[in-house]
């Protein structure tokens, strides 16, 4: 999967990018919201962004991305805020709270793309169980074991 990873903290972004590359994903790194807007296009399968991007704040950036009809990829937000402090949470498909656990990052990504055809849009059957609308494959995720069972 091609993931656009936007995080202003260099160390955090680089270490997450390393983990995601080890999982076999292609990572485009963005240091700020301008970088994100420059790199986002239809080839991106998933956007992961920190909620504190600058100079344009993350919710405004995502509103701009969503104005483009062709850009419907899922969005995972990452934040050091607590759940009650998050504004416009409905803009994001998933929110991960820092400090990030590798298992929850892996589970979040696996919940957004089909392990069979790599398509990104699917139906959630229930918590941790998913189905691909394109190829009808069903799969479950065990966050503790990082396992996918189809
Ligand atoms: Zn599929």
| Preceding amide of 44 cis, omega within 30 | no
Ligand 1 centre to CA of 24 (Å) is 18
Ligand 1 centre to CA of 1 (Å) is 13
Ligand 1 centre to CA of 61 (Å) is 29
Number of domains in the chain: 1
Neighbours of ion ligand 1 (CB under 5 A): 114, 116-117, 119, 132, 134-135
- Which segments within the chain are labelled E, that is strand? 2-6, 26-30, 46-50, 75-79, 94-97, 122-126, 129-132, 138-142, 147-149
- Give the span between the Cα atoms of 37 and 30, in whole angstroms: 9
The domain that holds 127 is classified in CATH as 3.40.50.2300
Segments forming the whole domain that contains residue 58: 2-149
Alpha helix positions (H), the chain:
10-22, 33-39, 58-67, 102-110
Per-residue pLDDT tens over the stretch 97-133: 999 998 889 888 877 777 778 776 567 777 778 888 8
Looking at every residue in the chain, the average pLDDT score rounds to 88
Query: pTM to 2 decimals?
Result: 0.84
Ligand 1 centre to CA of 120 (Å) is 8
């Amino acid at each position: 999967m091609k993931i656009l990873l936007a995080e202003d903290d260099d160390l955090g972004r680089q270490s997450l990018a390393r983990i995601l590359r080890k999982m076999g994903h292609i990572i485009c790194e963005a240091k700020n919201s301008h970088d994100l807007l420059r790199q986002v296009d239809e080839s991106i399968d998933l956007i992961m962004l920190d909620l504190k991007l600058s100079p344009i704040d993350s919710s405004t950036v995502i509103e701009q991305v969503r104005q483009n009809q062709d850009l419907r990829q899922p969005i995972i937000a990452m934040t050091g805020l607590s759940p009650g402090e998050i504004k416009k949470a409905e803009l994001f498909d998933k929110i991960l709270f820092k400090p990030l656990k590798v298992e929850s990052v892996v589970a979040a990504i696996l919940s957004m793309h089909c392990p069979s055809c790599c398509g990104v849009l699917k139906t959630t059957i229930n918590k941790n169980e998913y189905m691909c609308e394109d190829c009808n494959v069903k799969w479950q995720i065990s966050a503790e074991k990082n396992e996918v069972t189809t």
